Structure 1
């Protein structure tokens, strides 16, 4: 691994929500420990329109195990930026916030399930 490749890799890692990363490539070992990051992660969304209602699909912003509590249960009224789930990644829990105010129509994954980046998690009907 060349110096410029390592530099690019470190720049990329700095933008990710991980606080600890270990990389091994042959004889080279890179360990990055940035301390606990306490960033708010707002889930990415896609919009689908129906005849009389708007539905947002909340997608996973990262890979990990998803954990739900009652705030993300089907039929629950939620407000924008309310935590609706957490994704455990590299022993860190990252809050997933609702990007909209509305009602949870459907949970698309099970509690404790491994989710992939950009995987659909919730469908939310926008109130308003």
Structure 2
């Protein structure tokens, strides 16, 4: 593998949602890792278990539910970068669906971050009106996951 190919792989990793790339050939092994940075919001208490990115310290997590300025509804937002799962396992039903009534302690989904499965609570009361992401989709910190009224 030449330097040009390695640079192309680095660029590919930077422009993707992948955080690690391992390539093994008969003569060499190449491992590329991308650091995940998480915004730090001071003065807010975390609402549940939160996986911290490598080499990043975070004192707290931003609130998950925020007012949506477009339609004055409420959104439940991702408290971290991770993979969205709507159910506890592939053979079980989803935590919530459109029309499900939730309260602050209701688990609405799982976000997998760094091989840790984090149950995400609604942190608001209301009814799920829309699910904004697909099962298995990579989500960003602060990305709206659900609309609630």
Fold conserved (TM > 0.5)?
yes
The aligned counterpart of 2:51 is 18
Are residues 65 and 50 of structure 1, via their aligned partners in 2, closer, same or farther at CA, if it must alter by over 3 Å?
closer
Q: What aligned pairs does 1:26-37 form with structure 2 within 5 A after superposition?
A: none
**Separation of aligned partners in 1, 2:121 and 2:108:** 6
Structure with the bigger percentage of strand: 1
The aligned counterpart of 2:147 is 123
| Runs of 5+ unmatched residues, structure 2 | 1-39, 41-45, 56-60, 88-93
**How far does residue 102 in structure 1 lie from its aligned partner after superposition?**
1.0
Asked if the contact 1:71–1:78 (Cα under 8 Å) also holds between the matched residues in 2, the reply is no
**Does 1 or 2 have the higher relative contact order (CA < 8 Å, sep 6+)?**
1
Are residues 19 and 76 of structure 1, via their aligned partners in 2, closer, same or farther at CA, if it must alter by over 3 Å?
same
**Separation of aligned partners in 2, 1:101 and 1:56:** 10
The aligned counterpart of 2:73 is 55
For these two proteins, the number of residue pairs brought into alignment is 93
| Runs of 5+ unmatched residues, structure 1 | 1-11, 24-40
**Separation of aligned partners in 2, 1:43 and 1:84:** 15
TM-score, normalisation: structure 2: 0.52
Q: What aligned pairs does 1:48-87 form with structure 2 within 5 A after superposition?
A: 48=68, 55-69=73-87, 70-87=94-111
The aligned counterpart of 1:96 is 120
Runs ≥4 residues deviating over 4 A: none
Q: What aligned pairs does 1:107-118 form with structure 2 within 5 A after superposition?
A: 107-118=131-142
